[in-house]
Amino acid sequence: MKVELGASPSSRKIQAGDKIVAFPVRSIFDIFFSRNKIATLVEVNNAETQDKIVKLEVKGLSRVKIVHVRKFKEALFEVIMEEEARISHELMDNLRKKSQELIFLINVDESDKLINLLNYLVNIHQLIDFISNYFVLDFHGRYGLFNELDLTRRGDALLSILTSLIIKLNEKRIMEQE
């Protein structure tokens, strides 16, 4: 994911290979009340400073819970250990199938590439994050998925969102044909 930051003295120091905590912010209150919030530990793949902007390319490593923030520049956090063993392959297969169905309905030039990417993702966390980031355009829906710690509920909620999107697209197509 590509991220742009204001070029402050601390953000100018970020280099490729650094690990930082990425925290989604909805309002100013999220910044001041960040304790026990979910964030993502990311690794910086590339960092460029241009004028007043620092452009980062980051890769998510794991989900973390913020324990304490110091001066909005440093954070203590705990890595959230999620059990993958109890996640059924059926859930992963259902997520792939619903995503593919949605991709076929949308039918863009990159459809084949998206389907191939889905097949390469074997980690349930990566699969859910990938699908959420591409297809859940509603910020509150995506934020809710991000904050859900139970993988089964997270996957089921995403399936529900995908099913709803597919129904809306099918209804729209029927109305356009009439």
Q: What is the pLDDT of residue 107?
A: 74
Q: What mean pLDDT, rounded, does the chain reach?
A: 81
pLDDT tens across 26-64, in order? 777 766 777 777 888 888 898 888 888 888 888 877 788
Cα–Cα nearest to 133, from 24, 18, 11, 38: 24
Which of 35 and 21 is assigned the larger pLDDT? Answer: 21
pLDDT tens per residue, range 124-167: 777 888 888 888 888 888 888 887 878 888 889 999 999 999 99
CB 48 within 8 Å of CB 14: no
Question: What is the pLDDT at residue 98?
Answer: 92
108 burial (CB, 10 Å; 0-12 / 13-18 / 19+) is: exposed
- Model confidence at 17, pLDDT cuts 50, 70, 90, reads confident
Alpha-carbon span 119 to 100, nearest angstrom: 10
At 26, phi and psi to the nearest 5? -95, -35
What is the pLDDT, as a whole number, of residue 104? 84
Residue holding tokens 């304790």? Answer: 35
Quote the pLDDT of residue 162: 93
What are the residues whose beta carbons fall under 8 Å from the beta carbon of 49, sequence distance 6 or more? 7, 12, 55
Tokens of 7: 């070029």
From residue 88, alpha-carbon distances to 4, 85, 152 in Å are 37, 8, 9
Is the pLDDT at 85 greater than 70? The verdict is no
Map out the domains of the chain as residue ranges. 2-79, 89-177
- Does pTM surpass 0.85? no
Average pLDDT over residues 95-108: 86
Q: Which two tokens stand for residue 14?
A: 């970020």
CB atoms within 10 A of CB 177: 6
As a whole number of Å, the CA-based R_g of the chain is 18
